[in-house]
Amino acid sequence: MTLLEFKKWAKSRGWQEDNYGHLHKEIDGTKDRLRIGSISVRYERQITINGQNEWQRIASGYYKSLSVAEDGRIKGLTK
């Protein structure tokens, strides 16, 4: 999978691109982000620690290791 293929997949699933090129989506009341890099992506969730919002990494992976499963979900993200 390439960066462009990944972005196309994410946008088709309702993710919105911000000014920095990262993708955001609110899922079950929590803010999630796909932090886009040149060779990899990080799936992060916003949490509050001591009154400050921080992004916590949930999973990440290199584009070359990612693929779309039969059910439409991404395979290859690891913790």
Q: What is the pTM of this model?
A: 0.85
Per-residue confidence (pLDDT) for residue 3, from 0 to 100: 92
pLDDT tens, residue by residue, 3-29: 999 999 999 999 999 999 999 999 888
pLDDT tens, residue by residue, 35-71: 999 999 999 999 998 999 999 999 999 999 999 999 9
Domain-wise residue ranges, the chain: 3-75
Nearest Cα to Cα of residue 8 among 58, 66, 61: 66
- C-alpha pair distances (Å), 56 with each of 5, 17, 29, 48, 70: 25, 19, 16, 10, 28
